[in-house]
């Protein structure tokens, strides 16, 4: 009794159009001649968002991190200061050099005064030429010592300037390796950042390696866990293979895909990519020429009637038919002949 009631419910639902294909709402039927044609066989793989180049911002002097101006994810420009390293000993060295410079300046002033007096006496013939040469030599030595000490002070001052850790290129900070107050040595890595735009790095099985090449167009699917296995069901974007690596690892070939708009993605995020791995012959028909009855898909053939078909994936707005049609069949709308 329960089985008969369930069957009666199915019949009423079919009569009311509840189980009909969504495209049956079209008012006028159309015709379509089924012909075998080549379509690309798309392989769905997951690619990982990677940076083309990764750069390291390093310290140039030893000391203590007194300022840290970035965190993970901070966008930076080339030459932007991201941290500051200070060394208290540098200030002490500069103070000591300043004192020595003042002493040498006094010595030079004294040597210049002595030289002026000896030159005047030598011009009057009062002192010998040897005394004039000695005074001139003492003045030159004092002048050179003062210049050397000023250069040494400039070197220490430049070391203070080099305490600023600068971003080596434009990009986004991926990782910060230090905190404020950390003791560092010259050459230590303060932060790691992306140096160029992002790419998608994918791995394909060895059997598909012969189908891919540089410049080949690919489809990039929707980001996130909501991506489906069919490219037609996701908002796809066009991409291009920019590089195919010549070395295989564990039976897989690696390739990089270039696509616009990856700047807001996470490094390491997985994104579906659909790659053509050859062509195959199949039927593709408009979706409005197919309808369902009791969960089975039908196509209505002109001068023949309804026939059961097995559908595949959606391709370029049409639906792939795997079986049930032959070359030359004319499909009409589901309302034709009623």
Q: Is residue 262 part of a domain?
A: yes
pLDDT at 250: 87
Last residue of a domain, one of 185, 213, 241: 185
Q: Is residue 13 part of a domain?
A: no
Q: Are residues 168 and 218 in the same domain?
A: no
Q: Are residues 229 and 257 in the same domain?
A: yes
Q: Are residues 179 and 84 in the same domain?
A: yes
- Domain of residue 292, CATH code: 2.40.420.20
The count of domains in the chain is: 3
Q: Are residues 46 and 32 in the same domain?
A: no
Q: Is residue 259 part of a domain?
A: yes
Cβ neighbours, 10 Å, residue 241: 20
- Domain of residue 152, CATH code: 1.10.287
Mean pLDDT value across the chain: 82
Q: Which residues of the chain have pLDDT under 70?
A: 1-29, 196, 224-235, 336-338
Q: Is residue 308 part of a domain?
A: yes
Q: Is residue 12 part of a domain?
A: no
Q: What is the pLDDT of residues 227-259, one digit of tens each?
A: 444 554 445 788 899 999 988 888 899 999 988
Q: Is residue 2 part of a domain?
A: no
Domain of residue 299 covers 19-39+281-332
Q: Are residues 121 and 168 in the same domain?
A: yes
* 0.85 surpassed by pTM: no
Q: Is residue 337 part of a domain?
A: no
- In terms of Cα–Cα distance, which of 42, 48, 39 is closest to 231? 42
Last residue of a domain, one of 185, 203, 228: 185
Q: Are residues 97 and 149 in the same domain?
A: yes
pLDDT at 338: 54
Cα dist. 56→101, 165, 188, 237 in Å? 39, 11, 9, 32
Q: Are residues 181 and 254 in the same domain?
A: no
- Domain of residue 255, CATH code: 2.40.30.170
What separation, in Å, do the N-terminal and C-terminal C-alpha atoms of the chain show?
Answer: 33
Give the phi and the psi of residue 257 in degrees, each rounded to 5. -115, 130
Tokens 């616009």 belong to which residue?
A: 260
Q: Are residues 156 and 198 in the same domain?
A: no
Q: Are residues 200 and 245 in the same domain?
A: yes
Q: Are residues 123 and 210 in the same domain?
A: no
pLDDT at 5: 37
Spatial contact of 191 and 70, defined as CB atoms under 8 Å apart: yes
Q: Are residues 102 and 145 in the same domain?
A: yes
Q: What is the pLDDT of residues 20-35, one digit of tens each?
A: 333 333 333 478 888 8
Last residue of a domain, one of 185, 214, 234: 185
As separate numbers, helices (DSSP H) first and strands (DSSP E) second, the chain gives 3, 21
Q: Are residues 66 and 104 in the same domain?
A: yes
Alpha-carbon gap, residue 25 to 139, rounded angstroms: 106
Q: Is residue 11 part of a domain?
A: no
Cα dist. 257→47, 151, 200, 240, 305 in Å? 9, 52, 5, 5, 47
Q: Three-state DSSP class for 144?
A: helix
Cβ neighbours, 10 Å, residue 221: 23
């Amino acid at each position: 009794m329960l089985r008969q009631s369930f069957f009666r419910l199915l019949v009423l639902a079919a009569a009311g159009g509840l189980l009909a294909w969504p495209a049956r709402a079209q008012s006028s039927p159309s015709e379509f001649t089924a012909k075998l044609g080549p379509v690309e066989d798309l392989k769905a793989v997951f690619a990982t968002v990677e940076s083309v180049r990764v750069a390291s911002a390093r310290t140039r002097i030893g000391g203590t991190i007194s300022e840290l101006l970035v965190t993970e994810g901070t966008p930076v420009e080339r030459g932007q200061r991201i941290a500051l390293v200070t060394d208290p000993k540098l200030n002490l060295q500069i103070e000591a050099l300043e004192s020595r410079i003042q002493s040498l300046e006094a010595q030079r002033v004294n040597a210049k005064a002595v030289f002026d007096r000896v030159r005047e006496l030598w011009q009057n013939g009062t002192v010998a030429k040897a005394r004039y040469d000695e005074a001139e030599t003492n003045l030159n030595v004092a002048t050179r010592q003062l210049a050397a000490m000023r250069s040494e002070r400039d070197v220490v001052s430049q070391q203070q300037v080099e305490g600023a850790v600068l971003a080596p290129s434009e990009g986004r900070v991926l990782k910060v390796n230090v905190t404020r107050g950390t003791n560092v040595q010259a050459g230590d890595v303060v932060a790691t950042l992306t140096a160029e735009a992002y790419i998608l790095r994918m791995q394909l099985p060895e059997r598909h390696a012969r189908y891919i090449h540089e410049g080949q167009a690919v489809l990039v699917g929707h980001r996130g866990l909501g991506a489906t296995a069919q490219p037609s069901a996701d908002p796809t974007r066009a991409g291009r293979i920019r590089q195919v690596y010549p070395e295989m690892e564990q039976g897989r070939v690696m390739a990089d895909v270039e696509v616009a708009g990856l700047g807001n993605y996470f490094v390491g995020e997985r994104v579906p990519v659909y790659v053509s791995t050859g062509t195959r012959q199949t039927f593709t028909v408009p979706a409005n020429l197919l309808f369902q009855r009791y969960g089975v898909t039908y196509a209505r053939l002109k001068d023949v009637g309804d026939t059961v078909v097995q559908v595949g994936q959606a391709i370029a707005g049409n639906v792939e038919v795997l079986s049930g049609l032959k070359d030359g069949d004319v499909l009409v709308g589901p309302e034709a002949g009623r």
